[in-house]
Chains A and B, each alone.
Chain A
Amino acid sequence: MTDIQIDINEVSKWYGPFQVLNRCSTKVGKGEVVVVCGPSGSGKSTLIKCVNGLEPFTQGAITVDGISVGDPKTNLPKLRARIGMVFQHFELFPHLTVMRNLVLAQIKVLGRSSGEAHENGMRLLDRVGLRDQAEKFPGELSGGQQQRVAIARALAMDPIAMLFDEPTSALDPEMIKEVLDVMVSLARDGMTMIVVTHEMGFARQVARRVVFMDKGEIVEDAPTEEFFGSPRSESAQMFLSKILQY
């Protein structure tokens, strides 16, 4: 395996008396694409939000590119600037134009010049196929377009890895493909990605490994073909049978 970029080690998390994550461990190497799946409430969204410190965790350790996420001395905003995140509900900033959404963090967090940020933003808009929408407001775009802009916004920070939290779950079916296409091309270009998703077709196409979670635990962590071909655990088998029907 190539260099480990994201190391999740024995991570547990409690919400009061309720345990949401139970000793989760996995590693993601540079350029790897890992899909995290599982039934609702399995903790997959929580786990991915722990990676960039949006959610704190109670026990264990997460290291990103050598930096410990749980360490109180770590500069979290700086770390987060190096990890890109895409949300289920897009979360574009509605009061800013598409272009302004793309350049804001570049200028204010990375300290880039306005010209540089705009150029970068345009390049990425082009890459996701939305060059003409630069001056529109998020409210004027479709869901699929908004999510593609959200991906461009995260990429604009030149991240070392990208986290996707159910990026297509809130999209109408006819718009899912345009977003997955962008994600596939990202993966082919060598981006390290952790993707929480139900889109198994996507997983089969680009994921190196599949991590299956149930009730807060990582139940299976196997190469893609192995996971789909011969899932070892009963819960994984049940899960696959339910979602692969259609």
Chain B
Amino acid sequence: MFANFDFDVIARSLRYLFFDGMTFTLILTALATAGGIVFGTMLALMRLSGFPLLAVPATGYVNLMRSVPLVLMIFWFYFLVPYIGQWLTGAERPIQVGYFTSSLVTFTLFEAAYFCEIMRAGIQSISRGQLAAAQALGMSYPQTMGYIVLPQAFRNMLPVLLTQTIILFQDTSLVYVLSITDFLGAASKVAQRDGRLVEMYLFAAVVYFVMSFAASQGVRALSHRTAIIR
């Protein structure tokens, strides 16, 4: 059954797959996670602020992002970001943005909605007594949030945040729809150029599996460790 297959194609294209493809995937994952958590935490604070002027737009944004497929968002931002760039810089024509910038904006803004919900749950799980104690010491709202609530919320939700990062890592494969060369894109290009679809896609599947599985086992070990300390 596997007689016609040429698995050497994998060995030959390893450099391209990993140096071109996987680096794109990993850098996009890392930056979008960082940006997504920062923006997501901001959104969570806005939703919990009690000011309708902040809470309503934040809630609307989160619900919008969660109602729409990521693929559609990838298309949206691919066309929208040049116009936003034009508007921001006052240029005459839409700004040319590279594939990486467009993807980064898309994934950061999209995943921020999911990170927002995670952080919101985390913040709400901090007991009111902690807030009262911080306030009783004379801490202002920013100080209370910054030193007491957010550090604890973040620590408590770390396993869930990391799991969402693994999901983000897998989601980056969708940049395929714009023919971008992430890891899957690279595998696909080799597959089509050399006519080796089976080998390349199987290899891609194995690589994604190994990396995601290892990462999720790591998260499990981490949450066991922190559970003991608490």
Most chain B CB within 10 A, of A78, A81, A93, is at A93
Task: Say yes or no: A109 contacts B230, CB within 8 Å.
Answer: no
The answer to the question of A242 belonging to the interface, with a C-beta cut-off of 8 Å to chain B, is: no
- Interface positions of B from 131 to 189, Cβ below 8 Å from A: 132-140, 143, 147-148, 151-152, 155
Task: Say yes or no: B137 contacts A109, CB within 8 Å.
Answer: yes
The answer to the question of A161 belonging to the interface, with a C-beta cut-off of 8 Å to chain B, is: no
Residues of B within 8 A of A80 (CB): 135-138
Residues of A within 8 A of B1 (CB): none
Task: Say yes or no: A95 contacts B155, CB within 8 Å.
Answer: yes
Nearest-neighbor residue (CB-CB) of B148 within chain A: A93
The complex places the Cα of A150 from the Cα of B143 at a distance, in Å, of 19
Q: Kindly provide the distance from the CB of A78 to the nearest chain B CB, expressed in whole angstroms.
A: 6
Task: Say yes or no: B152 contacts A87, CB within 8 Å.
Answer: no
The answer to the question of A54 belonging to the interface, with a C-beta cut-off of 8 Å to chain B, is: yes
Residues of A within 8 A of B11 (CB): none
Most chain A CB within 10 A, of B127, B138, B147, B148, is at B138
> Do A104 and B136 form a contact, CB below 8 Å, given A87-B129, A94-B152, A95-B155?
no
The answer to the question of B229 belonging to the interface, with a C-beta cut-off of 8 Å to chain A, is: yes
The answer to the question of A89 belonging to the interface, with a C-beta cut-off of 8 Å to chain B, is: yes
The complex places the Cα of A170 from the Cα of B229 at a distance, in Å, of 22
Q: Kindly provide the distance from the CB of B164 to the nearest chain A CB, expressed in whole angstroms.
A: 21
Residues of A within 8 A of B49 (CB): none
The answer to the question of B13 belonging to the interface, with a C-beta cut-off of 8 Å to chain A, is: no
Q: Identify which of A89, A92, A105 contacts B139 (C-beta below 8 A).
A: A105
The answer to the question of A85 belonging to the interface, with a C-beta cut-off of 8 Å to chain B, is: yes
Number of B interface residues in the complex (CB < 8 A): 20
The answer to the question of A117 belonging to the interface, with a C-beta cut-off of 8 Å to chain B, is: no
- Interface positions of A from 69 to 102, Cβ below 8 Å from B: 77-85, 87, 89, 91-95
Task: Say yes or no: A108 contacts B132, CB within 8 Å.
Answer: no
Task: Say yes or no: A89 contacts B137, CB within 8 Å.
Answer: no
CB 8 Å contact bits of B210-230 with A (1 = contact, 0 = none) = 000000000000000000011
Interface Cβ pair total, 8 Å cutoff: 68
The complex places the Cα of A96 from the Cα of B151 at a distance, in Å, of 10
CB 8 Å contact bits of A151-168 with B (1 = contact, 0 = none) = 001100100000000000
Task: Say yes or no: B230 contacts A153, CB within 8 Å.
Answer: no
Q: Main secondary structure on chain B at its contact with chain A?
A: helix
The answer to the question of A120 belonging to the interface, with a C-beta cut-off of 8 Å to chain B, is: no
Nearest-neighbor residue (CB-CB) of B146 within chain A: A108
CB 8 Å contact bits of B120-132 with A (1 = contact, 0 = none) = 0000000101101
The answer to the question of A139 belonging to the interface, with a C-beta cut-off of 8 Å to chain B, is: yes
> Do A78 and B137 form a contact, CB below 8 Å, given A54-B132, A109-B143?
no
The answer to the question of A52 belonging to the interface, with a C-beta cut-off of 8 Å to chain B, is: yes
Number of A interface residues in the complex (CB < 8 A): 30
Q: Kindly provide the distance from the CB of A157 to the nearest chain B CB, expressed in whole angstroms.
A: 6
Task: Say yes or no: A95 contacts B138, CB within 8 Å.
Answer: no
> Do A91 and B133 form a contact, CB below 8 Å, given A81-B138, A108-B143, A109-B138?
yes
Task: Say yes or no: A105 contacts B137, CB within 8 Å.
Answer: yes
Residues of B within 8 A of A85 (CB): 132-133, 136
Q: Kindly provide the distance from the CB of B74 to the nearest chain A CB, expressed in whole angstroms.
A: 38
Residues of A within 8 A of B155 (CB): 95
The complex places the Cα of A154 from the Cα of B130 at a distance, in Å, of 14
Residues of B within 8 A of A87 (CB): 129, 132-133, 136
Nearest-neighbor residue (CB-CB) of B154 within chain A: A95
Q: Kindly provide the distance from the CB of A225 to the nearest chain B CB, expressed in whole angstroms.
A: 32
Residues of B within 8 A of A137 (CB): 229
Q: Kindly provide the distance from the CB of A38 to the nearest chain B CB, expressed in whole angstroms.
A: 21
Q: Kindly provide the distance from the CB of B129 to the nearest chain A CB, expressed in whole angstroms.
A: 5
Nearest-neighbor residue (CB-CB) of B133 within chain A: A91
Q: Identify which of B127, B132, B139 contacts A109 (C-beta below 8 A).
A: B139
Between A and B, 13 residue pairs with Cβ closer than 8 Å are A49-B132, A54-B132, A77-B139, A78-B138, A80-B138, A83-B136, A87-B129, A87-B132, A92-B133, A93-B148, A109-B139, A139-B230, A150-B133
Contacts from B to A (Cβ < 8 Å): 127, 129-130, 132-140, 143, 147-148, 151-152, 155, 229-230
| Additional A-B contact list (13), CB under 8 Å, known A77-B138, A80-B136, A94-B152 | A54-B136, A77-B135, A80-B135, A85-B136, A91-B132, A91-B133, A92-B133, A105-B137, A108-B147, A109-B138, A109-B139, A137-B229, A150-B133
